[in-house]
Amino acid sequence: MRLLIINGVNINMLGIREKAIYGNKSYEDLCNYIRDVASKEKVKLNIFCSNYEGEIVEKIQDALGEYDGIIINPGAYAHYSIAILDALRSVNLPSIEVHLTDVTKREKYRQVLLTSDACFLTIMGKGFSGYKEAILEMKKKLGE
């Protein structure tokens, strides 16, 4: 099983931005955590991060025929990116949306998740372990 992990806008600022909300661990810590989980679960993956909506759309489109599923944390793009939503729908790969925080308990504008409409599951409020849950759920979905 090959998974594409996409992290969107400002996820690269973990450990720097809003530590009271996102904690002290860095983006590198997150990537190391994800790779460790993937190794233990015998899952091949590629981790991609971009602050640019168009790059995320292109990466999703390029996933077709290369990956079995997508795990995406679009960051703030989750709340308004029809382009990312359409890209996820266009490739028709099983997708899971992950959010480090529980957006239902945050600002009102963060409570709308457009991109999750293209995902079979949304995981939120579990920090780094949300990615582990997503990998395990994707394995179930794909019969691995």
Sign of the dihedral defined by the CA atoms of residues 16, 31, 131, 65, in that order: positive
Angle of the 27-41 helix axis to the 129-141 helix axis, nearest 10: 30
In the set 22, 27, 33, 80, the catalytic residue is 22
Report CA-CA distances (Å) from 101 to 24, 68, 111, 114.
14, 26, 11, 16
Q: Is 99 a catalytic residue?
A: yes
Q: Is 79 a catalytic residue?
A: no
Distance from C-alpha of 18 to C-alpha of 41, rounded to nearest angstrom: 31
In the set 52, 79, 80, 99, the catalytic residue is 99
φ, ψ of residue 63 in degrees (nearest 5): -70, -25
Residues carrying an active site annotation: 22, 99
